[in-house]
Chain A
Amino acid sequence: MTLTARDVAEITRLLEESSFDELELEIDGLKIHLRRNGDIPRFLAKGDRPQTQVASPEDSGARLIAAPPGIPPANPRAPIDPHLTPVSAPLLGTFYRAPKPGAPPFVEVGASVEPETVIGIIEVMKLMNAVRAGARGVVREIRARDGTLVEYGETLLLIDARESR
């Protein structure tokens, strides 16, 4: 599904007519955050380019901002399939999927894991902390990007416990 400028204008209009001040919408990886009377300054990570860009419709009180680039879609409360078990970041730090650069990742989608299986590393000030799956099952989705900052409690990946083998 693609989102056209017309769709965005329509969504903006719906927000303006509603009693809500804020709307967050996620469709197929495209994230839109609308805020009424918003005064949100730009947030561009150095040397990063926007992944998604939505033009702000003219004559609109609401301002549109694209998902900030270089920032993982860090929404620990993003809707999660009730059958899936999230593995959350036990602490804030830089997330690494592999034991060292160039090495194969600890786990890929489809991999079977045990509670003790290491699924990644979180680095805090040169201190490497192994992150374990904490559940038995099959990795369904990997949300955290390699080498990026993850917040405390952020969902790193999702495990389907029904498929444990």
Chain B
Amino acid sequence: MSIRRILVANRGEIAARIVRTCRKLDIETVLAASEADRDSLPARLATRTVCIGPAHPTASYLKPELQVQAALGTGCDAIHPGYGFLSERAAFARLCEQHGVTFIGPTADQLAIAGDKLAARAAAQAVDVPLAPGGEAPSRDVARELAMRIGMPLLVKAAGGGGGRGMKLIERAEDLDGALELAAAEAGAAFGDARVYLERFVTRARHVEVQVLGDGAGNIVHLGERDCSVQRRYQKIIEETPAPGIPDTLRSRLHDAALRFAARLRYRGAGTVEFLVDVERDEFYFLEMNARIQVEHPVTEAVSGVDIVAAQVAIASGGGLRLVRGEAWRDGCAIECRINAEDPARDFAPSPGTVRSVRWPDGEGIRVDTHIESGARVPPYYDSLLGKIIAHGRDRAQALARLRAAIAVTRIEGIATNLALHAEILADPEFMAGGVDTGYLARVLGKRPARVAVAQHG
């Protein structure tokens, strides 16, 4: 079954990214935009735009029935959900299928397993994918006993959470009871699922994830790994592939574990299996599976030569993995910086507004994925991602040099951004050496002299 017209149920840079590949594939696109995004770049790139609702995402982007209705009303065969919003909602995938619209992504059942972190842990365990010591904490007594076995520090996580949401760090046993109660209440309110579980907190680890593609019939391929250890409060800001300084045996064990996990689910589409890696101990633990395309997918595309959106469309059309296997690896290294509308000087507060002028970099090995042009508005309702600058090089040193030069010429006027922070990290000896852990960025930020809030006193 071929796909001729796709509803893009997303916004921002990923919407523009999806539309670009669809144009290459000669597939028409309908952008489902909120009122705030009517005049956005993706709205102009798409074949057609329909306004699905008001700016607030709960009244537009997060409404499954509006997205499906928009797809039906405009004659779309398929929906690409992008990332975030409805991309990992099993109920949305099911609604699409019920109305004969192809959901470009995994099956509803696969989304349900990946989304339930306890079910995902069980699936990992079934195929010998290592897990951090932990388990469900249905009662206070079970939790106490479990905590004794795991040891401190540990994390209380929400079964319905993920991506760093709904997590609490506990460093003293006496804090466990209170944290459990709070975590369960918060998880119930945020995810509609009050189940929580405990997991050992791995203090010095790297975040390494493996990109996989599955045809839904049991065939899985991987496109290598990405290191996303430069994070602030679990939000990634720099990603690269390959993961620097990892022994090849450990690297292939990670790839194999990801393939086993995806095969267990008979996974369909593009997905990412995330791990925490303790390089010194030569160990790794399964974190979760993200059952969608990820923000940082371009670094994998740069090195593998595979257009992941095109692969998603091919798989959704029933074309399997043929397209993927036919592509040649370009090799080398790729690094990405996420440029966010947030102010590092004000504790990374979001800085919505109007971009007075912008100059994005170009040049050899440089790719920019963005929806921001001069005059673009950055509405306060959505995430703060303005764009991604990706540099590819024959090795890490070349990619790094290209990225540094690209960041240096990038200009965004009118709103605060984290550009200066990126310049700082890319020139930092520890990052340049490669292989920083997830605590790295917090240490860099902690070393800075405290800023005096003059305005508050003046």
Contact = CB atoms under 8 A, between A and B. Distances in A.
Interface of A: 39-43, 45-46, 68, 70-71, 74, 76, 91-94, 123-125, 127, 148-149, 151-154
Nearest to B52: A92
Contacts of B50: 74, 92, 149, 151
B65 interface: yes
A124 B69 contact: yes
Interface stretch (B10-18, B70-78, B450-458): B70-78
Contacts of B26: 41
Interface residues of B, number: 22
A125 B65 contact: yes
B319 interface: no
B153 to A, nearest CB: 47
Contacts of A123: 69
B28 A125 contact: no
Contacts of A71: 48, 74
Contacts of B95: 125
A45 B5 CA distance: 10
A63 to B, nearest CB: 14
B170 interface: no
Given A41-B23, A124-B65, A152-B35, A91 B48 contact: no
Contacts of B398: none
Contacts of B219: none
7 contacts: A40-B47, A43-B47, A70-B75, A149-B50, A149-B70, A149-B73, A152-B35
A152 B65 contact: no
B68 A43 contact: no
A93 B47 contact: no
A92 B70 contact: yes
B74 A127 contact: no
A149 B68 CA distance: 12
Interface string B54-91: 10000010000110111001110000000000000000
B28 A91 contact: no
Contacts of A152: 35, 51-54, 60
B96 to A, nearest CB: 11
Contacts of A45: 74-75
A160 B441 CA distance: 61
Contact of B53 (A43, A92, A94): A92
A91 B53 contact: yes
Interface string B433-451: 0000000000000000000
A43 B48 contact: yes
A92 B69 contact: yes
Contacts of A93: 66, 69, 73
Given A41-B28, A43-B28, A153-B35, A92 B47 contact: no
A123 B69 CA distance: 9
B28 A92 contact: no
B65 A94 contact: no
Contacts of A127: 65
Nearest to A35: B44
A43 B73 CA distance: 14
Given A124-B66, A149-B70, A46 B52 contact: no
B40 to A, nearest CB: 15
A71 B5 CA distance: 15
B227 to A, nearest CB: 37
A133 B60 CA distance: 23
A125 B66 CA distance: 8
A121 to B, nearest CB: 13
A94 B35 contact: no
Nearest to B71: A149
Contacts of B70: 92, 149
- Give the 9 A-B residue pairs with the shortest CB-CB distance, closest first: A149-B73, A125-B65, A151-B51, A152-B51, A152-B53, A92-B52, A151-B50, A43-B47, A124-B69
Q: Max chain A CB contacts within 10 Å: which of B26, B48, B51, B95?
A: B51
Given A92-B70, A94-B69, 17 more contacts: A43-B47, A45-B74, A70-B75, A92-B53, A93-B69, A94-B73, A123-B69, A124-B66, A124-B69, A125-B68, A149-B70, A151-B50, A151-B52, A152-B53, A152-B54, A152-B60, A153-B35
Nearest to A43: B47
Contacts of B74: 45, 71, 149
Contacts of B47: 40-41, 43
Nearest to A76: B51
A91 B23 contact: no
Interface in B20-47: 23, 26, 28, 35, 47
Contacts of A40: 47
